[in-house]
Chains A and B, each alone.
Chain A
Amino acid sequence: MFDRRLIINFDFFLFFVVLLISFLGVVNLKSICTSSGGTVSPFFYKQIYWVLIGFSGLFIIININYASLIRYAYYFHISALVLLLFVLVFGKTIYGSQRWISLGPISLQPSEITKITFIFALAKFYTENLSQKAYLLKDLFMPGLLLLATFLPIYYQPDLGTAGIILLIFVSMTFFVNINKKTVFLLVSAFTAALPFFWFLLKDYQKKRVLVFMNPELDPLNAGYQVIQSKIAVGSGGLLGKGFMLGTQSQLRFLPEQHTDFVFSVWAEEWGFIACFLLILLFFSIIYRGLAIAAEANSLFGSFLAVGFSALFFWQISINIFMTLGLFPVVGVPLPFFTYGGSSMLCCIIGVAFLLNINMRKFK
């Protein structure tokens, strides 16, 4: 029987916020994709298809009880990891890293799917292994292994941005587990001690980005120039912006990577401070709603899932915007619903679909 409570608990606010953001994302992409001659590049139309596909997927997902998926959580993740390894071996190289599987005209990025399956797998583990006692170091062995198995193949693509997001999601979700205080202290000090070692794991171009971020004058002709151009774009937007499709920085192609890393700069330049303020409020309301859904969920699994997806949105939104505002090295993290790309768009809408799903079933 159909349960009326499902409709009563449908989070219309979250749904319409996401719908509005997706719409604004498409509008923003229209400005980027339209050349001075008036021709619109196929990126724009492809993105509209992806939004439509994404929302159709959303309606399918909310009809499946998320709690029933706990049984398959590990299998989903293992399949995603297999895909990842497949990409490492056979993937298509774009911008020097292998992230894509080519399926005819569609290029799929398994690392995006992995974010979702990783949240599921970790939520399952914490749900099934939670006890009244606080976690000790040995209890974190399995989750740590799960993290490494996910982090390393993405890191070696190399896709430092997504690998970093996986790590941050792990840290965020683990924050909700009761861990022994000494163990926390131990882990934090061990991590701090290992930081210099991580430096050596970075590829040369990644090191360069970090160095350039700390001192843009090191590379004034390339990465430093990108950040400067992005800041000029944002700053010159002023209070009200230059107007739709009138941003000189973006229209004259001073801005690098406009449809991927620097979409927000285009928005900021053309629409100004007030619109930025509103857009960021919209973005953050997804996070606040996600946290509220976590608090109200009727099962631990639901809470962990909601926390995981909230973390995913929080980190992607913050890092991308920090990057465009010159507050973080350029690492290639997409802005949800704004950055061009089918895999990223699908991943974000699926995340929202599960938040809605959890909320619909919060009745006890």
Chain B
Amino acid sequence: MSFKLNEPNLEKSLVKRIKITAALTTLVLLFIFSRLWYLQIIKGAYYTELSIDNRIRITKIPDARGRILSKKNEVLVKNIPSFDLHLIPQDTPDIKSIVSRVAALLHLDPKVLWARYEKKKSRPPFEPIPLKKEMPWNEMSLVVSNKMDLPGITVNVVPKRFYCLGMFAPHVFGFLGKADSKDLRFFRSSKYRAGDLVGKYGLERWGEKYLKGKPGGLQTEVDAFGNRKKILAEIAPVNGNDIIISIDPVLQKKAEDLLKDKVGAVIAMHPENGEIMVLASSPGFNSNLFARGIEQKNWKTLLQNPFHPLLNRALQSQQPPGSVFKIITAIAALEENAVDPEQKIFCSGRYQLGKRTFRCWKKGGHGWVNMKEAITQSCDCYFYHVGLAVGMDTISKYAKMFGLGAKTGIRYEKEKPGLVPDTKWKQKKYGTPWQKGETLNAAIGQGFLLTTPLQMATVYCAVANGKYLPRPRVILEIDKQPAKILFQPEKKPVPVSPKTLAFIRDALVAAVNEPNGTGRRAKLKDIQVAGKTGTAQVISKKTDADEKEENIPFRLRDHAWFVAFAPAEQPGIVVCVLIEHGGHGGVVAAPIAKEIIAKYMNTR
């Protein structure tokens, strides 16, 4: 039903309401007029004054990024002032001549400076345009003393990241870089603008949300010459939170010195609480190169290095573990009662399986050896025998029980899970059944098996403490207000009998301390060291011929492993050394572990 307006009542009420509306509208109109009158006529002179050279300025106050400290409160990463030369176009009467004057003063190419100005000149007003970053002291003082002749030029203090020990633990600290759109999405925060420095790698990236503070700012009124007259408002910057880490600077330095000119990694950790004392990977880089954005040529050099300095080998290098794995095979055999450890097996240097011949590393063979002797001398034939007796799936079960094939849970960085094969895995991956020969390879830590140094270190932690796998920890504490964030030790029990682990510890002590032990080069005078060597083949060697190490191309040389703990009776440190393409574990890796253990004992 629709109505026409010719109904007098309705029309009257409508017109009445329209009149009310028009009156209300007029009130609003008058209100706007009076406000305009107030702003433009009454306060007009005041606002004109403010608008001349716009007297209200916003200045950013940079925040300080959180520091990184050791457990003993030594500052490892901090911020230092760096001096940047800025130009504020609105305060500069004749930009061209000022730029050339600055160039003459600092002996720079005026064209370069001018180009830097041109690139940034469309910024919002009074935002300083950087002409030169990180001026040395002498240049800075030169500019400051000539300030009177350089209107519009300012020297600003900008905090710069400083890694106090120089080229030190780069794979722990990581580095900073200019934020790209991916980073901005990743950190999902409005605190950043494109071009800000953010953590790109390592702890700097993991800890970004804690380390990053919040810049403050000043709203000030300035006079006609740009000098600050009055602070109208101030927002104080909020500094980032410090991170306390477990790295022991003395041991880390030692490890890095020992790794110099080698390709590899060293991990040292506490066998009970999982604190990582050393996390070294070689080759490394200097995090300071990245402190204010890395230069293109330095970045290129890093990327072109064939040994990939940016790779964190301690966590990301997956290699066959070689003989350091044999203790897993031994534990599997003992726990499943597959062999009697006292029963001796004869090693002739060769082991026949069907038509295939498997070799022991010692050409002449070890003769009659029991399990302890086999671990001590790292006899391959003995473990071929044990491997067959136990079977692949059982070896695999125990390897996984010790955390192999899975990430260890170190927080700050991506890690590789390694690989623990079993019969099902092979069927699925290759579509072919498991071969017995592959069990022999796995029993001595070869074949498909892959582990990282960090994984092997945690395996030996469990052997050392006799009960559990500790979760590796680098970050101990974040100094956040009001309450600190603490990262407590975490443990994963390993259901292996204490008797078995005691036997293994005993054998590992023998491997270092017996004259014929493969780890004898790690022996220390006063402290009992326990450890196991490993020499992992990169490719299987087809010939018996003894090739001299120097004659083999670098890429094909064996990986040297050594994992040790000390003191054997009350272990306080587990050290895992991997030297890629280094040769024999006992020769190359064991002495490195020895020196780190010695240093550890000295500094206790």
Contact = CB atoms under 8 A, between A and B. Distances in A.
Given A178-B13, A299-B4, A325-B35, A238 B41 contact: yes
Given A175-B17, A217-B233, A234-B40, A321 B32 contact: yes
B40 A272 contact: yes
Contacts of A234: 36, 39-40, 47
Contact of A232 (B6, B50, B90): B50
A279 to B, nearest CB: 10
Contact of B29 (A221, A284, A307): A284
B46 interface: yes
Interface string A287-322: 110011011011111010001001000100010011
Contacts of B43: 235
Interface string A143-168: 00000000000000000000000000
A254 B17 contact: no
Interface residues of A, number: 58
A247 to B, nearest CB: 9
Given A128-B1, A248-B51, A284-B25, A239 B44 contact: yes
B36 A220 contact: no
Contacts of B29: 280, 284
B50 to A, nearest CB: 5
Interface string B191-220: 000000000000000000000000001010
A248 B47 CA distance: 12
A142 interface: no
A221 B219 contact: yes
B36 A268 contact: yes
B516 interface: no
Interface string B1-13: 1111110011001
Contact of B51 (A224, A233, A280): A233
Contacts of B233: 217, 220-221, 224
Contact of B44 (A175, A178, A236, A298): A236
Contacts of B5: 297-300, 303
Given A236-B50, A318-B32, A252 B232 contact: no
A236 B48 contact: yes
B18 interface: yes
A231 interface: yes
A130 B3 contact: yes
Interface residues of B, number: 46
B58 A225 contact: yes
Contacts of A236: 44, 47-48, 50-51
State the majority secondary structure of interface residues on B. Answer: helix
Contacts of A291: 18, 21-22, 25
A184 to B, nearest CB: 13
B311 interface: no
Interface string A23-50: 0000000000000000000000000000
A59 interface: no
A248 B125 CA distance: 11
A56 to B, nearest CB: 30
B185 to A, nearest CB: 13
Contact of A325 (B28, B32, B90): B32
Given A220-B235, A221-B235, A273 B40 contact: yes
A334 interface: no
Contacts of A237: 40, 44
Interface in A336-364: 364
- Helix, strand, loop or mixed for chain A's interface? helix
B14 A238 contact: no
Nearest to A247: B51
Interface in A248-278: 248-249, 252-254, 268-269, 272-273, 276-277
Interface string A100-130: 0000000000000000000000000001101
A21 interface: no
A204 to B, nearest CB: 10
B33 interface: yes
Contact of B40 (A228, A235, A288, A327): A235
A300 B6 CA distance: 10
B125 A232 contact: no
B158 to A, nearest CB: 19
A229 interface: yes
Contact of A314 (B25, B37, B217): B25
Contact of A231 (B18, B25, B39, B125): B39
A277 B235 CA distance: 38
Contacts of A175: 17, 21
A291 B25 CA distance: 10
B124 interface: yes
A303 B52 CA distance: 50
A268 B56 CA distance: 19
A257 B232 CA distance: 23
A193 to B, nearest CB: 25
Q: Tell me which of B28, B36, B219, B235 has the highest count of chain A C-beta atoms within 10 A of its own C-beta.
A: B36
A239 B41 contact: yes
Interface of B: 1-6, 9-10, 13-15, 17-18, 21-22, 25, 28-29, 32-33, 35-37, 39-41, 43-48, 50-52, 54, 56, 58, 90, 124-125, 217, 219, 232-233, 235
Given A176-B17, A178-B13, A272-B40, 10 more contacts: A172-B21, A217-B233, A220-B233, A221-B219, A235-B48, A237-B44, A288-B25, A299-B4, A300-B10, A325-B36
A-B complex: 4 closest residue pairs judged by Cβ atoms: A235-B47, A220-B233, A236-B51, A238-B44
10 contacts: A225-B58, A235-B46, A237-B40, A238-B40, A254-B54, A294-B14, A295-B14, A310-B21, A322-B32, A325-B35
